[in-house]
Amino acid sequence: VAFSDKQEALVNGAYEAFKADIPKYSVVFYTSILEKAPAAKNLFSFLANGVDPSNPKLTTHAEKLFGLVRDSAAQLKASGAVVADAALGAVHSQKAVNDAQFLVVKEALVKTLKEAVGAKWSDELSGAVEVAYDELAAAIKKAY
Ligand code: HEM
Ligand code: ISQ
């Protein structure tokens, strides 16, 4: 897909806003996921004791996922396509992660970045994040 310099800059800016307070925004992210999909608690061992922002596993996993969405935007701008690590496909196919779950994570991602970005949030930014996420999710699912 076509992805402009501006779209990449918007996704980068949103990622920087998330990075400004990773514990805070990780709580927003996981809370949103658990609201829509309470069973996600059983998928991630680090959620066993609830959404604890002082648990480094919780923040590290969120940071990795948000970082991959940012990388996806960079790949889209550079080549118009996203390639995901084979291992990333393998993990998710083994856990039988489905489209409904990908949607829950996408909605939580958008909600979290919206809160992080604040007044600078826009439809254009939302759209750029969604394309970067959707193309990354498609690349992961290619390995199924
Ligand atoms: C593992 C990224 C979507 C469930 C992982 C890992 C990464 C990752 C990098 C490797 C372990 C780690 O976190 O370091 C992503 C990305 C996604 C995505 C970029 C979306 C584009 C999902 C969805 C689910 C899911 C929708 C299901 C709700 C899992 C599970 C693991 C995992 C269960 C294994 C966790 C463990 O046991 O350590 N994912 N993921 N992922 N992911 Fe995802
Ligand atoms: C999916 N895969 C890996 C890590 C994650 C962290 C939070 C929410 C979803 C995730």
Residue nearest to atom 37 of ligand 1 (CA): 44
pLDDT of 144 above 90: no
Architecture of domain 5-141: Orthogonal Bundle (1.10)
Q: CB neighbours of 131 closer than 8 A, spacing ≥ 6? A: 1, 3, 7, 76
pLDDT of 143 above 90: no
Domain layout of the chain by residue ranges: 5-141
Ligand closest to CA 84? 1
Residue 33 Cα: closest atom of ligand 2: 8
CA of 98 to the centre of ligand 2 (A): 13
Ligand closest to CA 45? 1
Angle 37-52-18 from CA coordinates, rounded to 5°: 80
Average pLDDT over all residues of the chain: 96
Q: Buried (b) or exposed (e) across 34-45, using 16+ Cβ within 10 A?
A: beebeebeeeee
User: What pLDDT is stored for residue 100 in this prediction?
Assistant: 96
User: What pLDDT is stored for residue 108 in this prediction?
Assistant: 98
CA of 43 to the centre of ligand 2 (A): 9
What residues line ligand 1, using a CB cutoff of 6 Å? 40, 43-44, 61, 64-65, 68, 88, 91-92, 95, 97, 101-102, 105, 133, 136-137, 140
The pair of three-digit structure tokens given for residue 72, joined into one six-digit string = 């996806």
Cα separation, 36 vs 38, in Å, equals 6
What is the rounded average pLDDT of the residues 16-42?
Answer: 96
User: What pLDDT is stored for residue 70 in this prediction?
Assistant: 98
What residues line ligand 2, using a CB cutoff of 6 Å? 33, 61-62, 65, 105
Determine whether 114 is exposed, middle or buried from the number of CB atoms within 10 Å of its CB (0-12, 13-18, 19+). Answer: middle
The pair of three-digit structure tokens given for residue 136, joined into one six-digit string = 């990354």
Cα–Cα distances in Å, from 25 out to 19, 40, 51, 120?
8, 18, 11, 17
Is the predicted ipTM greater than 0.90, yes or no?
yes
What is the rounded average pLDDT of the residues 78-90?
Answer: 96
What is the rounded average pLDDT of the residues 6-16?
Answer: 98
